[in-house]
């Protein structure tokens, strides 16, 4: 295996790094202690990846079993205990545990504990997940065809498991 073809063709390099301080407020805040921090969006990475910190409040249900047709998703637990579904079984993930879900892989997550939990989620390639995070709760309440179209638009295909 070799490195990809160069995409930067300059000789001097550029000053183009982006810093996000730890105390920056989350972009999405939901009742129950849930929050999503946009660390690196599809826009800021040129579609290479999307990186998000997700804080889950106690007893946070998370999404049910689903898969993506165009993106992989990875989970890295930072704190607390997160239940991770790998398509076959539920695994209790603690700080430092990691789950990679290839394209098409069934997965889900939740926080069953009485304590908050936090994890990093990585999507590759980068997809515009921000609209999904910002609107999924509202769209789920609407339900019906509109919610179904929203899920398809955001490459989220839920299954009964």
- What are the boundaries of each domain within the chain? 28-158
CATH architecture of 28-158: Sandwich (2.60)
pLDDT at 161: 72
Sign of CA dihedral 50, 51, 53, 59: positive
Segments in the chain forming alpha helices (H): 129-142, 144-153
pLDDT at 31: 81
Report pTM.
0.91
- Residue 149 makes CB contacts below 8 A (sequence gap 6+) with none
Note down pLDDT in tens along the chain; length 161 residues. Answer: 899 899 899 999 999 999 999 999 999 998 888 999 999 999 999 999 999 999 999 999 999 999 999 999 999 999 999 999 999 999 999 999 999 999 999 999 999 999 999 999 999 999 999 999 999 989 998 999 999 999 999 999 999 87
């Amino acid at each position: 295996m070799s490195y990809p073809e160069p995409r930067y063709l300059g000789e001097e390099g550029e000053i183009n790094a982006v810093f996000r301080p730890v105390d920056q407020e989350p972009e999405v805040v939901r009742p129950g202690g849930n929050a999503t921090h946009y660390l690196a969006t599809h826009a800021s990475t040129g579609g290479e990846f999307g990186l998000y910190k997700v804080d889950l409040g106690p007893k946070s249900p998370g999404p049910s079993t689903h898969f993506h047709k165009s993106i992989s998703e990875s989970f890295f637990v930072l704190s607390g205990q997160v239940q991770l579904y790998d398509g076959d079984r539920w695994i209790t993930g603690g700080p430092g545990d990691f789950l990679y879900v290839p394209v098409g892989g069934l997965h889900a997550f939740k926080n069953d504990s009485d304590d908050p939990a936090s994890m990093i989620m990585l999507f590759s390639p980068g997809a515009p997940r921000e609209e999904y995070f910002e609107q999924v709760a509202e769209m789920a309440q609407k339900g019906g065809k509109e919610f179904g179209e929203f899920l398809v638009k955001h490459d989220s295909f839920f299954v009964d498991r």
